[in-house]
Structure 1
């Protein structure tokens, strides 16, 4: 459906998008996940033809976005982070304007306006001024304009930013519904949001694609070493001696507790964490020291996200500025 090959965008010495390549298949909901300034908005603006690329290629349903922009853009409905709304118009008037700009006319235009109004559930405000609508309703109007023209792909840039909790739930439900009839791509810096909605996730940091797959697939393939937490009735020195007898321990944090107890957090690089926990049990038993508590912890997708993007966030800088400027374009 969409092929992105070696996509790069430079602003002078700043590399906002760094050699991105990926394939988007039809009929899925994809999430662009990454910290602010990671390159998500810049990538989306290039994919939709709103921004040129320094290098690379984007093909949408067989049409190159740079060489055949008219044909490629017919396949895309786009909602930028700041919805391009005319606040002095009503949703109905605005959608009619957008529909005509997309080449719709007559009965077909009126039919599509009715359909998208019903689809995004803005019928009760269709004749009110957009300026008087809540941000949640404005987002719905923005999504409605993206749906006009029957595009195969819907691209939404941070569609839940600035919404209250109820509005966020409503927009997430709407995205799920759109995923049943369209290929949907949306960006977010909120992990839980992407996990809730998407069946495929692209993690972007510093303009690079650092991971791509389903939530369960990413957790399975990219788990960081497992953790074992234990509390022993033993001194710190004895604990260190005991741990030296156990293999596959990649890191240890030891804390002395009151009443002669020692707490341990250790990381293991073993394929099966249970093999290490079993070895720990027998090592402490051999020294006749009681293990009062032992628990296992696997790294989840949140841990993976933090690990992969820990250098990609930080305070707003040039990358954030460029992404904001790209969105305005």
Structure 2
């Protein structure tokens, strides 16, 4: 992988009056990376995306896109960005071809090259047979594809996608995720979302923002390791009081699961497995299961965002139940 940064964000901040919506956010994106940008509603995701895409001025900090400072050289920086906002900027009365030709012109593509650029974007987004169809007659999933096509028609090194699967059905979600993974092979992609499975399905790196601050910046591999470590799951026929386990050396907390199992969180250097086995025999707790625990991304998310709200979409089922989603 090329180590040259496509996006460098340093100490980014944004105030709305006295409210600081973004607080000293810093991160880097390199070619071939898909960055998942997670956070509950109101956490600062969309504000950050608007700043990075040049649609909102920061109160402090800097953004560099493909080597161009966004404030000092905005035209060059913006030309290196493809942006799909949460509501795709579509003209429903145009055909797909008419709209993409218009977008090609807006992005400065010479007239002689527009047809080739349009056909390439359509091909990459699964739109090859829709060129003569009115955008207003397309399904929501295909309209999202058109939105992505306009974002990549000028082959930008950086693609920013803000909630690209909100309101889609499970089949459409799967198709758009496959498209995002494909884009990640040739572009640096920022995927802003509040849908947790989205990140695990499509991203190489994950960041979680809460109250305007980054509270997690980790590779997917590192996150998987974090989710598997420092916990064990146990099940007893005669479950002890939670306090009996919480008093063991190294145990930080004990969380009951819905199925009656207990999730024991412990310090990484103090595994309480031996102590639990010994006590289970002494106290006749009837231990019948003990295994390394595995946190879900949902649990990690909730641990890091202490004011998670009902608006957070945790599963694909909730996506279809709450199609209007919403960003920061």
Residue correspondence of structure 1 range 143-162 to structure 2 within 5 A:
143-162=148-167
Cα deviation for residue 155 of structure 1 reads 0.7
The alignment's TM-score, normalised by the length of structure 2, stands at 0.84
Residue correspondence of structure 1 range 200-211 to structure 2 within 5 A:
200-211=205-216
SS of the aligned residue for 2:64 comes to: strand
Cα deviation for residue 279 of structure 1 reads 1.7
- For structure 1, the residue ranges without an aligned partner over 5 or more in a row are 255-262, 317-323
SS of the aligned residue for 2:274 comes to: helix
Which region of structure 1 is more displaced relative to structure 2, 294-303 or 85-94? 294-303
Number of the residue aligned with 2:289: 294
CA contact (8 A) 2:163 2:327 kept: no
The alignment's TM-score, normalised by the length of structure 1, stands at 0.84
SS of the aligned residue for 2:304 comes to: helix
Cα deviation for residue 314 of structure 1 reads 5.3
Give the number of aligned pairs.
Answer: 307
Number of the residue aligned with 2:302: 306
Residue correspondence of structure 1 range 18-57 to structure 2 within 5 A:
18-57=23-62
CA contact (8 A) 2:246 2:252 kept: no
Number of the residue aligned with 2:322: none
In structure 2, distance between residues paired with 1:169 and 1:244: 42
SS of the aligned residue for 1:117 comes to: helix
1:165-204 CA distance string (max 9 Å, x none) = 1111111111111111111111111111110100111111
CA contact (8 A) 2:81 2:160 kept: yes
In structure 1, distance between residues paired with 2:143 and 2:175: 13
SS of the aligned residue for 1:121 comes to: coil
Which region of structure 1 is more displaced relative to structure 2, 227-236 or 100-109? 227-236
Q: Structure 1 residues 158 and 244, CA, compared in 2 at 3 Å: closer, same or farther? A: closer
CA contact (8 A) 1:234 1:290 kept: yes
The alignment status of 1:181 with 2:186, answered yes or no, reads: yes
In structure 2, distance between residues paired with 1:244 and 1:169: 42
CA contact (8 A) 1:219 1:300 kept: no
CA contact (8 A) 2:234 2:287 kept: no
Number of the residue aligned with 2:272: 276
Number of the residue aligned with 2:69: 64
The alignment status of 1:118 with 2:120, answered yes or no, reads: no
Cα deviation for residue 280 of structure 1 reads 2.0
Number of the residue aligned with 1:250: 252
SS of the aligned residue for 2:113 comes to: helix
Cα deviation for residue 32 of structure 1 reads 0.7
The alignment status of 1:84 with 2:89, answered yes or no, reads: yes
Runs of 4+ residues deviating >6 angstroms: none
Choose the corresponding residue for 1:164, options 169, 190, 210. 169
In structure 1, distance between residues paired with 2:103 and 2:239: 72
- For structure 2, the residue ranges without an aligned partner over 5 or more in a row are 1-5, 313-325
Structure having the larger proportion of residues in helix: 1
Q: CA RMSD in A?
A: 2.8
In structure 2, distance between residues paired with 1:113 and 1:266: 53
CA contact (8 A) 2:12 2:26 kept: yes
Q: Structure 1 residues 231 and 86, CA, compared in 2 at 3 Å: closer, same or farther? A: same
SS of the aligned residue for 1:212 comes to: strand
In structure 2, distance between residues paired with 1:50 and 1:69: 11
Number of the residue aligned with 1:135: 140
Cα deviation for residue 281 of structure 1 reads 1.9
Q: Structure 1 residues 4 and 222, CA, compared in 2 at 3 Å: closer, same or farther? A: farther
Q: Structure 1 residues 293 and 272, CA, compared in 2 at 3 Å: closer, same or farther? A: farther
CA contact (8 A) 2:280 2:287 kept: no
CA contact (8 A) 2:121 2:153 kept: yes
